[in-house]
Homo-oligomer: A and B are copies of this chain.
């Protein structure tokens, strides 16, 4: 399973496209939280929150570290910035500033 740029962009934006996940991300960006501490904040089941955390983790927006019986999650601001860069790149297409524009636009042509 090749992890292309487009794969990572898919994962990033998909992870951000759910309000519960954005809320979890806010919390773990503000500071480390255990999964169960996070789960306590929502009406859904522990397992559901666990899955949301896994989606954020696969997108690289959050990392987990084990401490005893707890899994502590913290947000990764670099990945957030890399999502921002993707948007700026799009904006530069609009500005007509991108030199690689043909590469970008022809990636589906054959």
Contact = CB atoms under 8 A, between A and B. Distances in A.
A26 B107 CA distance: 11
A74 B17 CA distance: 23
A102 B18 CA distance: 20
- The secondary-structure label for the interface of chain A is helix
Interface string A1-45: 000001001101110111110110111011000000000011100
Contacts of A17: 10, 12-14, 16-17
**Chain A interface residue bracket vs B:** 35 or more
A29 B101 CA distance: 11
Interface of A: 6, 9-10, 12-14, 16-20, 22-23, 25-27, 29-30, 41-43, 75, 77, 80-81, 83-84, 87-88, 90-91, 93-94, 96, 101, 104-105, 107-109
